Amino acid sequence: MKLISHRGNINGRKPELENRQEYIIQAINSGYDVEIDIWYDKELWLGHDEPQYKVSLDFLKKYKDKLWIHCKNFKALSFLIEEKELNIFYHKTEEYTILSNNLIWAHNLQEVDIKCIIPLLSKYDIDTWIPSEVYGICSDYVNLLEKQ
C-alpha cells in the first residue's frame, strides 16, 4: 500500500510548512509520495487556500513519480491535463474523483477497493478506520501509518 504525505506532512499538520517545495522534498526523501495543491494563474503556484509559492513545471516533472497533484482551480487542471506523466485530479466535494492515472480518490470510505486512495488526515481518522484493501492512504501522519 502506498503512503502519501498530505502536503508534505508526515508527523502531523504543520500549516506554515505545507506545500513548500523544501517540505515536499523532505517528505519524498523520507520515502513517501506527496499530495500537493496546485493553482495556475499565468504561472504555477503551490498553496492550499490560495496561490502562495511559485513552482515550476520542471519541479513537477522531476518528482512526477512521487507527486499526487490536486488542481485547485480549473486553470490548473486545464494547464496540466496535457502533461500525461503527471498524476493530477480535481475535486471540490465529490465522494469519488478519477485521477489522470485511472485510480480513484475516495472520500466515501464505506465503498472502496484496491483502485482507491483514501484520505485519513487525522489521528482520529486513522484510529476509527476499518482497514480494507486500498491502493494508498493520504495522511498528515504517514509516519504513524507506516509503523502500524
How does pLDDT run across 51-108, given as a tens digit for each residue?
A: 999 999 999 999 999 999 999 999 999 999 999 999 999 999 999 999 999 999 999 9
Q: What is the pTM of this model?
A: 0.95
pLDDT category of residue 147 using cuts at 50, 70 and 90: confident
pLDDT of residue 146: 86
- Identify which of 14, 51, 36 has the alpha carbon closest to the alpha carbon of residue 143: 14
CA atoms within 13 A on the CB side of 95: 5
Q: How far apart are CA 126 and CA 104, in angstroms?
A: 19
Residue 9: all three cell numbers together: 506532512
- Full residue range of the structural domain in which residue 45 is found: 2-147
Q: Provide the Cα torsion 123, 124, 127, 133; round to 10°.
A: -80
CB 73 within 8 Å of CB 62: no
pLDDT surpassing 80 at residue 148: no
Q: For the chain, what is the domain count? A: 1
pLDDT of residue 7: 98
